[in-house]
Structure formats: structure tokens, C-alpha cells
Structure 1
Amino acid sequence: MNECAMLHIPDSRYCFATGEKELVLRLRMAREDEKAKVFLIYAKKYDFTFCRKKLPMEIKYSDRLYNYYEIKMRLEDVRFAYIFQIEEDGNTWYFSEDGVTKEYKFEEGFYNFFQMPYINKNDVMDTVDWMRSAVFYQIFVERFRQGNEKKDTSYINMKWDEKPTPKSFAGGDLAGIIEKMDYLKELGINALYLTPVFRSISNHKYDIIDYFTVDPQFGTKEELRQLVKLAHENGIRVVLDAVFNHCSMEMQQFQDVLEKGRESRFYDWFIIDGDFPEPEKMNYECFAACNYMPKLNTANEEVQDFLLEIAIYWIREADIDGWRLDVSDEVSHGFWRRFRKAVKKEKPDSVIIGENWHDAYAYLMGDQYDSIMNYAFTKACLDYFAKGVFSAKDMADKLNSNLMRNTEQVNRMMLNLLDSHDTHRFFTEVNKDKDKMLAAIALEMVFEGAPCLYYGTELCMEGGYDPDSRRGFPWDTKSWDMDFLEKVKELIRIRKQPAVQYGEIKIEEEQEMLHVERMWENSKIILRINMTEEEKKIPKQPEETVLCEDNRFLITITEA
């Protein structure tokens, strides 16, 4: 038995409460030990020496190196003690805080059993309930639709259907989104993620001058309120983009520091090496290497107070449903802890989604974000659908491995995306293969978490890297592939299935196909994706009903 592969950490992603009396336990073991039988030996914490029970554990997830055994316990007493028993080739081992041993002294278990000392209600991470059924649609506001024809358009310097440059302005605004709310509702999405809408000199608005003012190119505060209200009336949530890592050098506070240096009351709002910030020398921290976007010192309590005021202001003023957090992994953990408390107090069912491109477990333990933009899912989809790097088995392994980074609640709220304003368009990445594109969207819809379509995906929009991924939405319906659009709508409707919203997930390879199951009560949804060039015959069970199918995938449902 490979002891080096074994891992269990109490009060972590390997041991977490999903309710006041519900506990999930995971044990990681080497894949080569898959014939081992694993049992959980457990008891109430103060009964462990005298009165224990034993339950078998099953492999729920597998990746390239490991199997993950999981069990969900309904507790009588939230003070819980346990160890693991492993049987393999006629041998028995015990796994406790002392590691793997041949013998275990239960009478001395209070020294070394694993434990969940106590489940406190306020330590249980809640799942934002509406995220279970959410289908997001990301809009790069400047390129979706110009609705206000009476505004000052002197800033517009490109035709709507031209390829953009970094400094292009096409004229998209909030009025354009309001105007096309019926289109969004008909598409079937029920959540919007808007890139920044606050005053800025750029087209993307990630260099914000004034966080309390809607950019005049986009509209007014009243129009933002109107947009959110109309969205809510149509069953659509609205999440805004919070750029709290950095700001524009034109922001009043940084301008004050440029003028007064250390004498400015805002000097410590930024991280400066010297008496004055010098843009040409870039002697201050900034976003990437952009001297026009100075980094905010989010360890400073005054900065924290300022940013928290912004977060609460727009919930109160516009009734938004949450925040997407730009460059969130470069912001103070301490600030995000304050941010979560403030936002959840103001609107308990608001969602907090970080922009972390990598494993973000340190931020996803229930005290900071709810989830992240799941770029690990993006990368896996690129490797499987676009690059041909992954076989079905590789893809199953990778998706399982990604799920094991986080708790069940976090996985249910992950924002699963194929592309965004920061990537190449996925349709371009799959070489404009519509069958592959649809198969990837099918996986998004069935996978655990909330799918997010980048605007125009439903119409096969093309584009390379930023800024080419930010083209104007093609509103000329003559160019639309209506069959593709209808198939996307059909896939979006699958999110209404309870098995997708609440069900457990199983991911494996079957006949060189990716096989994804979602199981809830008496219902089972199965997605099969065939990325080989060989036709596969799938024996259909009499009770199976086809929900959606195309050349490379089949989705069925079985209801007992």
C-alpha cells in the first residue's frame, strides 16, 4: 500500500460541514490501491473509546494518480471522532493522526483520532441557492449594443463590425442591454455578468477614475437601476465587476499623491518607493506593468473602508446580486474577509466570484469568496476539445482532480467558462468546428457549477486574443446560424433539471467517450461526448429519454 499517497486533513476540503449536522469526509489514496477496502470507524467524540460504528467508503472521484473515497454523514452529535480502516491483500491498517499503523489503541484514541470538534452554525458555508440553476451571460458592455442614439458619440472611433484595437470605441451602453433584455430572456440565461461600468477613460473600464459614477459613455446610475430592475422582472440576476486591486492614475486620490507626495493623506493608499510616485520610473506597484493603473494598498484599513463603501453602495443603489472580483488573488485576504461579511450582511444571497486563474483554495474556505471564474475548467476544455491533448480518460481525470480542490458548496457555485474577454474565443480555438463547440457547451451545462456564456457564443462569434475577443455583437440576423442558436437554447434548458442543480456527479471514461452523470433522487442525467473519429453505438435503456443530442454528444435522462 502506498502510504505516501494517503491524505486526510480535518476541517478542510477533506472534512467539511454542508449543514448544521451534515459532514462530508474524503480520503485520498493511490490509484494503484483501488482494490483496497476502506471503512470509516466513527463515534460521538466522547464515546469513541467505548461505542464505535463502522461504515464502508466508496471511490467517488479518480484522477491520474489518486482515488478519492467520500462519505456524507448525518450526525446526531456535532462533536465527531473518526479514523479510517484499510483492508488490502489480507492485511489491515489504520489511518489516524499518527499516520498508517498496523495496530490502533482505541482506548487511547482521544490522543490521535481525527475529529470535527464541533460544527458551529456560522462556520458552515452556505450555497447561494440561485447559483444552482444559474446560466450566466458575460457582456463586455462596450461591444454588446448601443441603445442610446442621443448621447455624445464623438468618442466612437470604429465601425460596429470592425476588428477592435486596444483603444477602439464602438458605443455599446447600458441602454443597449436594456433594449435587448427580451433577447436574453428568450436565450434562456438567468444571470448577467457585466464588465466594469464605472467612470474610466478606457473602453474596458478596468482603470476606474470614479467608483461611484456610471461612465457617461455607458449611461447613468438611473439606467443601471433600470437595467437591474428589468432584469429582475425577467428572472435574471445581475453581477457587476469590482476592480479593487488597482485604479486609474486619474483617480482623485492618486492625483493628490502625485501633487503632494508623502504629505498627501492618501500616500499610504498606494505602495510607493520614494517620496513621490514617478510614472516614468514606475516606482510604485501597479497592475501588471501598467503605470496608469496604480495598485491599491488593500492592507490599509482606510482603503478597505473606501472599497467596502463602494461594494455596499451599489447593492443599495441598484440592487445588484453580487460582485465579480478583478485580479482578486493580489488583494489582501484580510480585506476579502471584511468584504464577505459586509456584502453578505447587506444582501445574504449575493454571490462573490473571484478572478483567480489557479487553485484558489486559500480564498474558498467559506470566509472570502463563494467561488472563482473556473479557468481550470477552461484549460481542460481547450486540451480536450480544441488541442486534442486529452483523451476522454485524461479529461475525466482532470475534471475529477479539479473538483477535489474544493468543497461541495464551492463546486456548486464555480463559474464555468469556455472563454471570456481575457482569452481567445473558444469557437476560434476549435477551428470553427460547430460540433465541438456544442459538445463543449453541453459539458458546461451538465457539469457541476454555473455555466457562463461569453456574449455571442450562441452565434459562433470568432476572435483571437484581446482585443480581438471583444468584437461587436453581430445583430444582423441574416448572419445567424439559427440551428446552432436553437441547439444552444436546448442545452440551456437542461439547467432546469433538478439532477443538474442538486445531483451528485460522476465522471469517467467509457468506450473512449467522456461519461458524465448527475444523480438526484430517482433521476439520472448522462452526458456522453465522443471526440474520436469512430462512431460509437450506445445501448439505450428502455427508460432512457433523450434530452439533447448532436454529432458529438448525447444527453439522456432516466427517471424511476
Structure 2
Amino acid sequence: MADTGSALRARSGSGLQEVTSDFIFGTLATDDLRLEELRKRQRGLRHDERISPIDPTPEDEVTITVTVGADLSVSELRCYVTTDGSLPDESCETTAFSRAQSNWDTLTWSFTETWQATIPPQPEGTLVRYRIAGMAADGTTIGADADEDTGEPGTFAYTVDRSPIPEWVHDAVIYHVFVDRFAPSPGNSWREPDDLSGIWGGTLQGVISRLDHIVDLGATAIWLSPIFPSPTHHGYDATDYHGIEPRLGSTEDLRHLIGLAHERDIRILLDFVASHVSNEHPAFLKARQDEDSAERSWFTFHRDGSYRSYFGVETMPKVAVDDDGAAGYLIDAAQHWLRMGVDGFRLDHAQGPSRGFWSRFRRAVREVNPEAMLLGEIVESADTMASYQGRLDGTLDFLLLQQVRAFLGFDVIGADAFGRFLQRHLEWFGDRLVLPSFLDNHDMNRFLWVVNGDKRRLKLAALLQFALPQPPIIYYGTEVGLSQWHDLEYPDGTRRSEESRTPMLWGDEQDDDLRDFYTALIAARRATGIARGSGVRMLPMTNADLLAIHLEGDGQHYTLLLNRSEAAVDVPLTELTGAGQIVFATGKGVEIAGSMLHLPAMAGALVGSVDEPL
């Protein structure tokens, strides 16, 4: 996704620290990449896992759609299908496609074709796997969504079920703990290595010792950064998916944390990386050393001995998750942790593995725990995010993140533009997925750094986040004023994500006012029932810095107002819906005087018709 704002913050009033503009990595990070992706979708034989309905039940006949690109002619298309979980091949049952229509594509300035086939209804719990092959004009066979390196045809899958998003997810407040930076074990201090790429000494016992902080805040779920054995501080390159990194603790420590958390009605989510492993993982070492090993097919090797890796990082070889051996290893690991009591997974780089893999993964997860949540990191377009319905329970809302930071962090869009986006965004997604919101995370500049430490702006953003009907995520320390020591971007052009992973503040270092604000905000969210709201509607305002949106919760009507300017504003109550009481305010001075609501500079409020302020 593209930069937001200029290369350096240029808000009026000089003397501010230099803060680089936002950059969110991903396959669609630039306009050139987006154009190339659109062109690619109109070339060759493309399925892109387009099925209807997208989340089939046992009563549903499923329509499979394929695009034949402008550069290709086919005489026939066939779908090879299995319903016993095995990999489909040419010996399987087949379903023929029929040509549906021609389509004009302005980008390629040519025509494509749409072909469709149907798969009959299947029993509850069936995993339908399929491959698609076409006969080209010259007699050659072409596989849909074939691998660009190996030519292997894509393998697709969907699960037939009635497995809804777990109810608890809708009401969740998720607290994101970066384990190495949260808290050392009792009696220990931070190790203080030379820089933030080193090991600082946070542990699972440290999380246990500080569990009361998370409970008192009001969070209902804890997302732990990767805790599997790994050679790095971040852990996103595991060497074993069935163990715990010794410097972080032990299996018994995790078991103890899960038990204590469950006693306090808090769920535990593990960060799980199916996309790639460490180049020190035994399976990769064996695959690299022995071309005849069973593990060789878990990875994609090139003729020159190189291999496919995560964004070209050689220490993180990508896993060929559609290989049954690789998929079985990952699924077995996930089920292992679920049996221990884990309540779900945040899935790193979830757009890396195929959707077919996630269909298999989700079915296996639900077999162990029907209430387990699967939350994907999908840094892609809205239609790509939505395509994970029925495969995951939700995706992190990077699209909303960008707009919130553009509106309240960098001041590059006004209230109208943000309000339009927000209303359309939530309306378009509806209830097909949960879209947890967040202001920052471990891979980007913290919000408080972006706004040069202006906690008024942080409070505005937090109020917005917690007023919306999607689960909010708090990145550890945001609630007590934790920021950074350096921008992610260095003068040499490198971006160092570890700068957003400073050690947690404890004791007198914490901002008590900010912590109390977050605690009250979470309580207000719970009391209003906004988490179960039905969406938002933008209210027209003439002030470009004043956002007003209508919300609903538990049968009540509310208006959220955010004043982004350095000047106070007065808003007539007649322009608002359900305005009678101030339910929550970001600070002092917000008041109703007669027929007007007064908002000081950089202040926000949630107003409604409740009997008493919360």
C-alpha cells in the first residue's frame, strides 16, 4: 500500500521531530504493483478461487468461475474434484465447464472470456479439493493459476459446513503482547542489548506476572507474538512448531498462562506462521541437503539451488502449503496447541498460503475447538480480504488503519473523505468477516510517534476505534504512553521494524491518565453495546476538521464527534442523532450548554440518549 503523506511530517508549526510517512508492505504496495496485478488477472487461465456461494453449506450447489485471458484460447475446460481430502489429478471425477460470456477489459484493451462449472451439494464437513485444466488451441494442457516457477497447476479447496464466526469474537478487546518486550520474569531486569534487534528478556512468566494489568484494563483476549523456537527476537522464523523458545519459557509456562487467563475470562491467541519457516528448520535443512527427501516438496527450489522465500529474505524459506506433508505438519502443530487450551491464532502473512490451505486448516481447527478464532494478516485489497470468508473468521483491517492514520495522524485527508470511506467500508464488508481495528503494530511507527507525542490525537483515534462495531486491538504500551526511540526509517534508507518494539513501561514510567482513559473507554464500549452495532452513517458537517458519525448499540442511538483542529467548535444538538447526554469524552471541557455541544481543540465525544453518563 502506498505512502500516506509526504516524506516527512509537515504539519503547521515547526520544531517537530522528523517522522516518515506510512508505508505498509505487501504485494500491492505501489501503483505499479497494483496495475501489474490487474494485468495478471487478465492473462492466462485464472480462477483466483472464485466460487459462489463463497461459504457453502450442505444445501449449496457451488459455481466455479474461471477467466480465460486475452492471450489465450481454449477448446475445453475441466475441473478435477475430490471429496475425500486427497489431492486431485487426472484420474479423479471431472466436471466440465461451459463458456458463459465475453468481457471487455479496458486495461489490456482486449476481450477475455468467463467460463463456469458447478459442483453439486456435498454433506456437512466435506473438504472439496479441485484443480482446473484447459486444452489450448495447440493441444497443450494449461493449469489454472499455475505456479510461475514450477508450472504446477493451482490446487483449490473449500469446506462445506455451518461453522459461524465464534460469538465471543464480536465482543472481544484484544491486547497484543510482543513477548520479548513486555515484561521479564519476576526478579529479573531488562537485558538492555545494544539495539532493538537484540534479546531484551521478556518471558511468558513476565506476562503472567503482569496479567493483572491486562485484566484491569478490560481486555478480553491476549494475542502473543510468536513463541516457538526461533533464532531471532521476533520469532517469525520458527525452527519447531511443537515447542516453546527456551528464552521465553516452557510449555508449562504457557499452560499456566492459559489457565490463569481463562480463570479471568481472557482468551489466548498465538501468532502462527504457516507461510514460511526459518532456514534453520530441520525440515528445510533436510530438504536442501537431500533432493529425494520427503521434505523436499515442502519447499520450492529453483534449478540454481536457490529457493522461494518470504519477500526474498533467504533466512525465511516459504512453505509449499498445498503439499500434503507440509500441510499435515502445520495442521498437526495447530491442533497440538488447541488441545493445550489456546483459543485461536493470528495468522501471519495469511495471503501467502493458498485459500485452499486455509479451508483445510480451518476445518482441522474447528474439529478440536469449534470456538477457536482464525484471524489473518491480509495486507491486500478489499475484494481479496473478503475472499477469505469461510476460510478465516476475520482479517486485520489494514484498510481502515491507513485511513485513520491519514486522517488523525498525518492530516492528509479531511473529515468528509474519512467519513465517506468509513461508511462505505463497513457497509461493503457487512458481517461476512470480523475486521479487528488497530492504530499501530510491531511493523510500523507507533501512532504516538507519528503524532509527535500528542496524546490528544491518540485519544481521538482511540475513541474512534472503540466506538466502531469491530473488535479493537491495543498494541502493548499504547495505553500507557509507550512510543519509540527512533523512526523506523534510517538515513541510509533502511526500514527497521524493531524500532516500534521498545520495552514496555512499568511503574512510575507509565502515563496514569492515559491508562485510566483506556480503562474507561473499554468500559464505555461494553456498556453501550456498540460492539454489536449495525454500522455507521456519516453526518454532514461544514467544518473539514469535524467528523460526525451516527452509531447504534443495544437499541440506543449515538453520535461520535471528533474535532481535529486546534480551535474549539460548538455543534448544534439539532444536527445530531440521539444527543442528550455525553456518554464519553476524551478530556475536560467537553460539555452540553443549552442547545450546543462544546468541543475544545483536539477533543472528541460520544453522545447519546442514555440516562446517566458512563
- Shorter-chain TM range is 0.7 to 0.9
Q: State whether residues 140 and 195 of structure 1, in contact with CA within 8 Å, keep that contact through their aligned partners in structure 2.
A: yes
Q: How does 1:364-403 map to 2 (within 5 A)?
A: 364-365=386-387, 366-403=389-426
Q: State whether residues 278 and 317 of structure 2, in contact with CA within 8 Å, keep that contact through their aligned partners in structure 1.
A: yes
1:534: Cα distance to partner? 3.5
1:510: Cα distance to partner? 3.6
Q: State whether structure 2 residue 255 is matched by structure 1 residue 225.
A: yes
2:235 equivalent in structure 1: 205
1:539: Cα distance to partner? 3.8
Q: State whether structure 2 residue 502 is matched by structure 1 residue 471.
A: yes
Whole-angstrom CA distance in 2 between matches of 1:236 and 1:144: 17
1:372: Cα distance to partner? 0.9
Q: 1:420 to 1:226 in 2, by over 3 A?
A: same
> Helix, strand or coil for the counterpart of 2:570?
coil
1:13: Cα distance to partner? 12
Partner residue of 2:467 out of 431, 446, 450:
446
Q: State whether residues 415 and 451 of structure 1, in contact with CA within 8 Å, keep that contact through their aligned partners in structure 2.
A: yes
Q: 1:364 to 1:337 in 2, by over 3 A?
A: farther
1:263 equivalent in structure 2: 292
Q: 1:492 to 1:344 in 2, by over 3 A?
A: same
Whole-angstrom CA distance in 2 between matches of 1:197 and 1:433: 33
1:144 equivalent in structure 2: 182
Paired residue type of 2:178? F
Q: State whether structure 2 residue 459 is matched by structure 1 residue 408.
A: no
Whole-angstrom CA distance in 2 between matches of 1:225 and 1:360: 37
Whole-angstrom CA distance in 1 between matches of 2:52 and 2:547: 26
Structure 2 spans left out of the alignment, 5+ residues: 1-49, 60-100, 102-119, 125-159, 489-496, 587-601
> Helix, strand or coil for the counterpart of 1:211?
coil
Whole-angstrom CA distance in 2 between matches of 1:126 and 1:449: 16
1:525: Cα distance to partner? 2.6
CA deviation digits over 1:266-298, x for unaligned, max 9?
1111000138x4xxxxx1001112111111111
Q: State whether structure 2 residue 323 is matched by structure 1 residue 297.
A: no
Cα RMSD over matched residues? 3.0
1:521: Cα distance to partner? 5.1
Whole-angstrom CA distance in 1 between matches of 2:241 and 2:56: 36
Q: 1:266 to 1:16 in 2, by over 3 A?
A: closer
2:520 equivalent in structure 1: 490
Matched residues, percent identical? 26
2:568 equivalent in structure 1: 535
Paired residue type of 1:417? F
2:331 equivalent in structure 1: 308
Whole-angstrom CA distance in 1 between matches of 2:302 and 2:165: 43
Whole-angstrom CA distance in 1 between matches of 2:286 and 2:414: 56
Q: 1:266 to 1:127 in 2, by over 3 A?
A: closer
Q: 1:15 to 1:299 in 2, by over 3 A?
A: closer
Whole-angstrom CA distance in 2 between matches of 1:243 and 1:430: 31
Q: State whether residues 499 and 524 of structure 1, in contact with CA within 8 Å, keep that contact through their aligned partners in structure 2.
A: no
Q: State whether structure 2 residue 240 is matched by structure 1 residue 215.
A: no
> Helix, strand or coil for the counterpart of 1:525?
strand
1:467: Cα distance to partner? 1.0
Q: How does 1:37-186 map to 2 (within 5 A)?
A: 126-147=164-185, 149=187, 158=192, 164-166=195-197, 168-186=198-216
Paired residue type of 1:215? E
Q: State whether residues 270 and 294 of structure 1, in contact with CA within 8 Å, keep that contact through their aligned partners in structure 2.
A: yes
CA deviation digits over 1:495-532, x for unaligned, max 9?
21353122212231442322233224531232111113
Whole-angstrom CA distance in 1 between matches of 2:53 and 2:571: 38
Q: State whether residues 394 and 436 of structure 2, in contact with CA within 8 Å, keep that contact through their aligned partners in structure 1.
A: yes
Whole-angstrom CA distance in 1 between matches of 2:584 and 2:283: 54
Paired residue type of 1:547? V
Q: State whether residues 13 and 406 of structure 1, in contact with CA within 8 Å, keep that contact through their aligned partners in structure 2.
A: no
Partner residue of 1:554 out of 587, 595, 605:
605
Whole-angstrom CA distance in 2 between matches of 1:222 and 1:137: 22
Q: 1:455 to 1:400 in 2, by over 3 A?
A: same
Paired residue type of 1:138? H
Q: State whether residues 246 and 294 of structure 1, in contact with CA within 8 Å, keep that contact through their aligned partners in structure 2.
A: yes
CA deviation digits over 1:171-216, x for unaligned, max 9?
0010000001111111111111111000011100111001101000
Whole-angstrom CA distance in 2 between matches of 1:395 and 1:13: 32
Whole-angstrom CA distance in 1 between matches of 2:57 and 2:466: 26
> Helix, strand or coil for the counterpart of 2:538?
strand
Whole-angstrom CA distance in 1 between matches of 2:240 and 2:428: 37
Whole-angstrom CA distance in 1 between matches of 2:51 and 2:537: 19
Whole-angstrom CA distance in 2 between matches of 1:516 and 1:416: 17
Whole-angstrom CA distance in 1 between matches of 2:399 and 2:162: 25
> Helix, strand or coil for the counterpart of 2:313?
coil
1:19: Cα distance to partner? 12
Q: State whether residues 298 and 331 of structure 1, in contact with CA within 8 Å, keep that contact through their aligned partners in structure 2.
A: yes
Whole-angstrom CA distance in 1 between matches of 2:399 and 2:51: 18
Q: State whether residues 298 and 335 of structure 1, in contact with CA within 8 Å, keep that contact through their aligned partners in structure 2.
A: yes
Q: State whether residues 378 and 385 of structure 2, in contact with CA within 8 Å, keep that contact through their aligned partners in structure 1.
A: no
Whole-angstrom CA distance in 2 between matches of 1:299 and 1:223: 33
Q: State whether residues 543 and 559 of structure 1, in contact with CA within 8 Å, keep that contact through their aligned partners in structure 2.
A: no
Q: State whether structure 2 residue 363 is matched by structure 1 residue 321.
A: no
TM (normalized to structure 2)? 0.66
Q: State whether residues 417 and 444 of structure 1, in contact with CA within 8 Å, keep that contact through their aligned partners in structure 2.
A: yes
CA deviation digits over 1:376-404, x for unaligned, max 9?
11101111001111111100111123224
Q: State whether structure 2 residue 521 is matched by structure 1 residue 500.
A: no
Q: State whether residues 144 and 472 of structure 1, in contact with CA within 8 Å, keep that contact through their aligned partners in structure 2.
A: yes
> Helix, strand or coil for the counterpart of 1:213?
coil
Alignment size in residue pairs = 436
Whole-angstrom CA distance in 2 between matches of 1:201 and 1:545: 54
Q: State whether residues 135 and 495 of structure 1, in contact with CA within 8 Å, keep that contact through their aligned partners in structure 2.
A: no
Q: State whether structure 2 residue 371 is matched by structure 1 residue 340.
A: no
Whole-angstrom CA distance in 2 between matches of 1:299 and 1:331: 8
1:437 equivalent in structure 2: 458
Q: 1:474 to 1:347 in 2, by over 3 A?
A: same
Q: State whether structure 2 residue 482 is matched by structure 1 residue 461.
A: yes
> Helix, strand or coil for the counterpart of 1:450?
coil
> Helix, strand or coil for the counterpart of 1:436?
helix
Structure 1 spans left out of the alignment, 5+ residues: 1-11, 22-96, 98-116, 278-282
1:432: Cα distance to partner? 1.1
Q: Which range moves more in the overlay, 351-360 or 449-458?
A: 351-360
Q: 1:545 to 1:470 in 2, by over 3 A?
A: same
1:458: Cα distance to partner? 0.7
Paired residue type of 2:270? L
1:330: Cα distance to partner? 1.1
Greater helix content: 1
Q: 1:360 to 1:253 in 2, by over 3 A?
A: farther
Q: 1:226 to 1:143 in 2, by over 3 A?
A: same
> Helix, strand or coil for the counterpart of 1:292?
strand
